[in-house]
Structure 1
Amino acid sequence: MPPSPSHIGDLLTAYLARHPGERGALEPLLTALGTDGGPAGRTALLGHVTCSAVVIDRDRRVLHVRHRATGLPLAPGGHVEDSDESLPAAALRRAVEEVGIPASFFSPAPGFEAVPIDVDVHDIARAPAPAPAKGEPALRHYDFRFAFHLADDAPEPAPQAGEGEGTCRLPFDGVTSPGLRAKLGASDPDGGRSGEARPVPSPLFPSGSVPQIVGVHLWLERDGKVLLGLRHPDSAYAGSLWHFLAGHCEAESATACLAREAYEEAGLVVDPADLGLVHVVHLLHRPGVPPRVQLFFRADRWKGVPELREPDKCAAWRWWDPEDLPDALVPYARAAIEGVGTGRLYTETGWPG
């Protein structure tokens, strides 16, 4: 399901704490958050939410995609889809799709992990056919713009056909959006990499803290074997590798999240009360990306047989002997299985030193 109105409201609250003078322009969206269907839907009357990625390299330039029709440089972005877990995730997805650089080379700009750097409000004229009702307003877009760093060793952009006419990088003062240009100049979202002032801290996190992504994983055993899923080759993460049934926590408890993911991914009914923690992996994929706390829960009981309910993500379910695991297994999943086998509760991987 798409990001919830409460999620959008939390982002707006954090944003307006920094930019209270923009409340008037954003008031219609605040009102629309309580309407049926939610503002992220493309058919919402009052307007809908789009997301853009403000991708910043170490030379304080912003990556743009040249629009196919006009040739104008635009930040990668677009509509929110039902599969997007959050607005920042939607922005990141669009960046990956439009510039052809894997998500692992992007990381949230410090101070902007949980708040957009800019929210642009603009009207889009409705199509002439069918004719709009008399007095019907133009469709209003609210574009949430999220700041990301581009890793120094990122490959060159490789846009796919249909995703624009190449890319370019513009300095902060060359960005065409006046609102974004002003915020880039004032907030230093490059995180001080150029030796200048540090960015404004996010109001949602204490100064100096780094948000951690929480992942949850379902440990099911049958006849001494553990259930693993084969990731689809085109999956955004771990394509063609075996992995646990897993997901990322939203605004919910870890056990509630895992129960939800079990049903959405495999049609399994799990009571959160029947889940017990068996292992924790504190994972750093690579420097510069958000660390992840990976929680593994064993279910004492469940209902159902594993189904392929998300075939674009998982191609097969199979029960594996922990002593005879596949070679093509997500490394931290293997570490967790080995940890449980030895009675160890905690593993760290990917951290320097």
Structure 2
Amino acid sequence: MSRLGATFARPTAANLPAPLLPSRGDDVPLTRAHIRKTAEAYLARHPHERNSLAGLLSLLDGVDDPADRATLPGHVTCSAAVIDREQRVLHIGHKATGLLLNPGGHVDGDRTLLAAALREVCEETGLRPGDLCLTPQLLGAPIDIDVHDANPAKGEGTHQHFDFRFVFYLVPEQHPQLTLQDKEVSGARWLDFAEVCSRTLRAKLLAARERGLDGQPEPVNASALIHDGHGRYLLHLRDQREGIWAPGTFALLGGGRTREDVSLEATLRRELAEETPGLEVAHLTPYAREEATSVDGLAVPIEVFQARWSGDPETVDLQEGVLLRWFTPDMLERLNLSPGLGDLIRRHAAEHPPAGGPPAPPRLLRDEAPQGTELHIVGVHLYLEDAHGRILLGLRHPDSAYAGNVWHFLAGHCEREEAVSCLVREAEEEAGLVIEPDNVELVHLVHLVDSPSARPRIGLIFRARTWSGTPSVREPDRCVEWRFWNPKDLPADVVPYTRQAIEGVLAGRLYSHRGWDKR
């Protein structure tokens, strides 16, 4: 059982993003740009506080180090609100002032503001970083920026603190024993939200509770356990770089939630689109909840989704990491895996034995192709006409990794499957249309390349002579509307090769190409 109890298991191989990886690093000091970006993001959420934070903005426009305690008449500090499962906030007795305060203090060699707040909590209370995790509501963003007069130490003049306040959940159900810093701390108390001593922090916490800030740790990361149904699992080799989680290991694809993500599934689909364009899975199903540890030691709850895919990793335009490969469970002992990944895959393999029939044929590696061969991505496209000769197009989601807010054929990439079967599958999954393979004919082929470095593509355009069903939006994260258009009066925003293919079909041409003259 993990620190999160029976719901969570061992650390898994999620791809932890930079926002979840604050760490102390003397070689990467806190930058003015980081402080400004954090402050501006906060003001975007609380624009009415811009006047009250004029002193902070003036500090950031100056030449002195904004986080150096010697910078006067004010400098940046960091503190934390640690919330337990009973929605109480940890306060400590501050010896110098006699006040109950949140743990916090000056920046001292920290790479991020969040890391400074975490370090101060641990130094002053004896909590370990692994006893804490981020909240889904705030993630790594400050809940409050408070301006107050400092209690000057010996030799310091009167000055102000611009205090960035972050929120952590306490992970263990039972409170760990606190080991208070004797030099500065006189005691500790857990206070309800309504009793929090800081007026501004109290107001922000009470407002955040209305949005679900309840002290119950829950996943803030999502990862994809992708398998082909025949016992193979898709693993991602991470970069061998300092400062990232599990460098140089094989891990699952995925990443951390942002404030814009409406769900963890949306997080994962965004991460897949950003990291692996060309790898599209129809369905993501929650499989397990795991826990990893970030670079600085924070607990990171993760939702693991399972998905089926049987494509060729070589066709994926990998944007992060070194490579993608299929592996079977018996190969895992030979790999440098991220923590807990081997156990997770073996458990899934035991619960999901390979489907009947022979496994998928071995993948054709690039170096197994004839010399000079360029592997292509194959896409299928549906040319569907209604009784009035109008053509079905879909408006892609504005946040789509490809052609956002542009009209396009119903389309998809061939996995390890025959092209017409792919078309039939995509039509049902994307729009609820039922098409019989015998009622499909190839009417055009577009051979295209987007840029000199992009993998070439072959677009197969198939006409369905008959079908059943009414087009409906089945994958709203990809397509927001289906509509029939007069081919002579198409909308302005159409994918260029889609328009080219429609013109080719109408002219009776079977082939066209695009982009090759720009290589």
TM-score (norm 1): 0.53
Q: Relative to 1, partners in 2 of residues 1:2 and 1:124: Cα closer, same or farther, differing over 3 Å?
A: closer
Determine the structure 2 residue equivalent to 1:240.
405
Which letter maps to 1:66?
G
Q: Provide the C-alpha distance between the structure 1 equivalents of 2:445 and 2:511, rounded to a whole number of angstroms.
A: 5
Q: State which of 305, 310, 324 in structure 1 corresponds to 2:470.
A: 305
Paired residues of 1:122 and 1:141 also in contact (CA < 8 A)? no
Q: Provide the C-alpha distance between the structure 1 equivalents of 2:278 and 2:242, rounded to a whole number of angstroms.
A: 11
Shift of 1:53: 5.4
Determine the structure 2 residue equivalent to 1:205.
369
Q: Provide the C-alpha distance between the structure 2 equivalents of 1:206 and 1:114, rounded to a whole number of angstroms.
A: 21
Q: Deviations over 1:154-185 (max 9, x none)?
A: xxxxxxxxxxxxxxxxxxxxxxxxxxxxxxxx
Which letter maps to 2:252?
G
Shift of 1:351: 0.3
Say whether 1:268 aligns with 2:408: no
SS in 2 for 1:309: coil
Q: Relative to 1, partners in 2 of residues 1:72 and 1:213: Cα closer, same or farther, differing over 3 Å?
A: closer
Determine the structure 2 residue equivalent to 1:66.
243
Shift of 1:202: 3.3
Shift of 1:121: 3.8
Unaligned regions of 5+ residues in structure 2, if any? 1-224, 255-263, 280-315, 347-364
Determine the structure 1 residue equivalent to 2:228.
4
Shift of 1:50: 3.4
Paired residues of 2:238 and 2:247 also in contact (CA < 8 A)? no
Determine the structure 2 residue equivalent to 1:78.
252
Q: Relative to 1, partners in 2 of residues 1:229 and 1:351: Cα closer, same or farther, differing over 3 Å?
A: same
Paired residues of 2:275 and 2:319 also in contact (CA < 8 A)? no
SS in 2 for 1:269: coil
Alignment length (residue pairs):
222
Q: State which of 202, 207, 219 in structure 1 corresponds to 2:383.
A: 219
SS in 2 for 1:289: coil
Shift of 1:104: 7.2
| Mapping for residues 78-117 of structure 1, pairs under 5 Å | 78-79=252-253, 92=276
Q: Provide the C-alpha distance between the structure 1 equivalents of 2:238 and 2:412, rounded to a whole number of angstroms.
A: 23
SS in 2 for 1:352: helix
Say whether 1:256 aligns with 2:421: yes
Q: Provide the C-alpha distance between the structure 2 equivalents of 1:94 and 1:281, rounded to a whole number of angstroms.
A: 18
| Mapping for residues 9-20 of structure 1, pairs under 5 Å | none
Q: Provide the C-alpha distance between the structure 2 equivalents of 1:338 and 1:108, rounded to a whole number of angstroms.
A: 40
SS in 2 for 1:310: coil
Determine the structure 2 residue equivalent to 1:292.
457
Q: Provide the C-alpha distance between the structure 2 equivalents of 1:76 and 1:93, rounded to a whole number of angstroms.
A: 19
Q: Deviations over 1:247-287 (max 9, x none)?
A: 00111111000000000000100111111011110000111
SS in 2 for 1:209: coil
Q: Deviations over 1:189-210 (max 9, x none)?
A: xxxxxxxxxxxx7354222211
Q: Provide the C-alpha distance between the structure 1 equivalents of 2:420 and 2:265, rounded to a whole number of angstroms.
A: 23
Q: Relative to 1, partners in 2 of residues 1:205 and 1:234: Cα closer, same or farther, differing over 3 Å?
A: same
Pick the structure with greater CA Rg: 2
Say whether 1:348 aligns with 2:513: yes
Q: Provide the C-alpha distance between the structure 1 equivalents of 2:335 and 2:401, rounded to a whole number of angstroms.
A: 28
Q: Deviations over 1:142-163 (max 9, x none)?
A: 9xxxxxxxxxxxxxxxxxxxxx
Q: Provide the C-alpha distance between the structure 2 equivalents of 1:269 and 1:94, rounded to a whole number of angstroms.
A: 25
Root mean square deviation of aligned Cα: 4.1
Which letter maps to 2:485?
W
Unaligned regions of 5+ residues in structure 1, if any? 7-32, 34-38, 41-48, 55-61, 96-102, 127-137, 143-200
Paired residues of 1:332 and 1:349 also in contact (CA < 8 A)? yes
Q: Deviations over 1:273-315 (max 9, x none)?
A: 1110111100001111110000000000001000110000000
Q: Relative to 1, partners in 2 of residues 1:347 and 1:281: Cα closer, same or farther, differing over 3 Å?
A: same
Shift of 1:79: 3.8
Q: Provide the C-alpha distance between the structure 2 equivalents of 1:315 and 1:50, rounded to a whole number of angstroms.
A: 31
Paired residues of 2:379 and 2:414 also in contact (CA < 8 A)? yes
Determine the structure 2 residue equivalent to 1:326.
491
Q: Deviations over 1:50-85 (max 9, x none)?
A: 32355xxxxxxx7x5833xxx775689634799999
Q: Deviations over 1:98-121 (max 9, x none)?
A: xxxxx9795999xx89889x9834
Q: Relative to 1, partners in 2 of residues 1:204 and 1:264: Cα closer, same or farther, differing over 3 Å?
A: farther
TM-score (norm 2): 0.37
Q: Deviations over 1:84-140 (max 9, x none)?
A: 99xx98962699xxxxxxx9795999xx89889x983437359xxxxxxxxxxx726
Q: Provide the C-alpha distance between the structure 2 equivalents of 1:65 and 1:271, rounded to a whole number of angstroms.
A: 53
| Mapping for residues 103-252 of structure 1, pairs under 5 Å | 120-122=335-337, 124-125=339-340, 139=343, 202-222=366-386, 223-252=388-417
Paired residues of 1:216 and 1:295 also in contact (CA < 8 A)? yes
SS in 1 for 2:517: coil
Which letter maps to 1:92?
T
Which letter maps to 2:228?
S
Paired residues of 2:246 and 2:338 also in contact (CA < 8 A)? no
Shift of 1:344: 1.2
Q: Provide the C-alpha distance between the structure 1 equivalents of 2:226 and 2:401, rounded to a whole number of angstroms.
A: 18
Say whether 1:52 aligns with 2:223: no
Paired residues of 1:225 and 1:321 also in contact (CA < 8 A)? yes
Q: State which of 471, 474, 482 in structure 2 corresponds to 1:317.
A: 482
Q: Provide the C-alpha distance between the structure 2 equivalents of 1:336 and 1:277, rounded to a whole number of angstroms.
A: 12
Q: Provide the C-alpha distance between the structure 2 equivalents of 1:335 and 1:107, rounded to a whole number of angstroms.
A: 32
Paired residues of 1:306 and 1:317 also in contact (CA < 8 A)? yes
Paired residues of 1:113 and 1:211 also in contact (CA < 8 A)? no
SS in 2 for 1:303: coil
